[in-house]
Amino acid sequence: MSISYTCKKLPDNQVIFSSLDKPRNFFKRNNGLMFKNKLAGHEAIMITGCNFIHTFFMKFSIDVIYINRKMEIKKIKKGVKPNRLTMPVFGAWSVIECTAGNENIKSLAKGDILHVSP
């Protein structure tokens, strides 16, 4: 059974993603968005314990939010194309991936604090 999480921007509790998936096993974490079609604007995936990603075998470009353990945004990388490998982001502990051009992340900036809850 998969738990759907909500991702909000603090302190105003603005909902960024109302459907955030957090894969828990190696297979699901490694595959991430590979072989999937585009996500809806309210959907994203959060992969913990990593500071870089790959987009091999993906069908669409993504935007990536790199966050540290305190849920502070370290970097936002937009328009990462399929079949790429990103450089590690110093201080990042997790990434949130969504379809490129997602309107929901336009208000986000480096230093913003996010909150994820079921």
The pLDDT, as a whole number, for residue 27 is 66
Summarised one tens digit per residue, pLDDT across range 44-90 is 999 999 999 999 989 999 999 999 999 999 999 999 999 999 999 99
Nearest to 58 by CA among 29, 36, 86, 30: 36
Evaluate if pTM is beyond 0.85: yes
The pLDDT, as a whole number, for residue 34 is 74
Q: How confident is the prediction for the chain on average, in pLDDT?
A: 92
How far is Cα 17 from Cα 29, in angstroms, rounded to an integer? 19
The pLDDT, as a whole number, for residue 1 is 45
**Ordered structural domains, the chain, with CATH:** 5-117 (2.60.120.1140)
